[in-house]
Structure 1
């Protein structure tokens, strides 16, 4: 690294930290927490380890920041969805599709969460921000369910947490297990048409679950 580049980055801490976080996100997503190496992260960010530790203290704190930023990104995009103009049942379908397409566009998000779950949420348990970051996720679901009850388009006995978990699980499980599932079923489950088929199944599954129960069915 030239002295000029090094001095410029020292004058721009935000840019330096952004580069470190981007490199860390890639390394952690590819190798998991245990397999990731701080030396590789520093090299990819074109900084030395001392500067990395100056900003993030240690590997654990760096991973926590990567997780927080990963959650922050999906929640910000989710909160920006234009759902208020849609009937509640259609808005839920839009949320299902957003979640699925976000997972496809950001496979590192799933890998990062998988790594953290293998460690029993060790890092997020010590995060001061993760609950605040994810608060909008539950709020969106509660709002949609309340509107759906008012409109008569959604069942009135659905828990918002269960709605969120179902939407996530239907996509998360499929993608995190796509390699083994493709082998078992002898089909490429990551092919473009297979992914569209999966989205259709996810929508049908959630739609059928949320459909109001008539008195004749009760």
Structure 2
């Protein structure tokens, strides 16, 4: 076999590998852009964020950015999807699904609070979207689906807690999750004003643990059978 024949035989293998390499390169470029956009939008919001600055942060040409994300709105939606996916993956609800109802609910509160503490930029992204009345999130085909497993987990914990005589009836899973988020996220998003008003450092490890334990205890006391509201007289 001549060297030319060997090169001819090797060419199909190289040609077959090229699409894989291109896809991997494209995936990494998208991830780089999303991380750059997360930094830009979390510091300046959707309205203040600049595509030019995002391209600069990512170290790419702006045309490359528009190749992956058609416009600023599409890019912000992708950042929202990344943010919600990161939140959901860190809540670890699938790990608590089979736990004792009380322990599972306590862990859900703590896991949720730890997300806000560790990733305060997520709150800033969501705050920006709420200022824009949720105009991007409604266009996402995936974000709403991310929360179906979480609601199933909460409903499962509630049902088993009720069957064991631990939790009271008529608890709405969506209301409960909104309360969990409020008890944990508000503490982090307002820490600067709270620290100035009360003269306390709120983000020390001890203070964060105290807050998350406090939030978990409030949720569990609300769920207890003896916490059911009295019938109207």
The TM-score with structure 1 as length reference comes to 0.89
2:216 to 199, 203, 206: 203
Task: Name the CA distance, whole Å, in 1 between partners of 2:156 and 2:44.
Answer: 38
Q: Which runs of 5+ in 1 are unaligned?
A: 1-7
CA apart distance, 1:134:
2.1
Task: Name the CA distance, whole Å, in 2 between partners of 1:102 and 1:13.
Answer: 29
Map 1:64-79 to 2 at 5 A. 64-79=77-92
Map 1:1-218 to 2 at 5 A. 12-79=25-92, 81-213=94-226
Aligned with 1:213: secondary structure? helix
Larger Rg: 2
Q: Identify if the C-alpha distance between structure 1 residues 12 and 214 changes in structure 2 by more than 3 Å, giving closer, same or farther.
A: closer
CA apart distance, 1:28:
0.9
What whole-Å deviation, never above 9, does each CA across 1:59-107 have from its counterpart, x for those lacking one? 1110011001111122233345421442111100010010011111111
Aligned with 1:102: secondary structure? helix
Equivalences, count: 210
What whole-Å deviation, never above 9, does each CA across 1:169-207 have from its counterpart, x for those lacking one? 001111111111111112122222221221121011111
Aligned with 1:198: secondary structure? helix
CA apart distance, 1:166:
0.8
Calculate the aligned-residue CA RMSD, in Å. Answer: 2.0
Task: Name the CA distance, whole Å, in 2 between partners of 1:80 and 1:173.
Answer: 21
CA contact (8 A) 2:46 2:76 kept: yes
Task: Name the CA distance, whole Å, in 1 between partners of 2:24 and 2:181.
Answer: 41
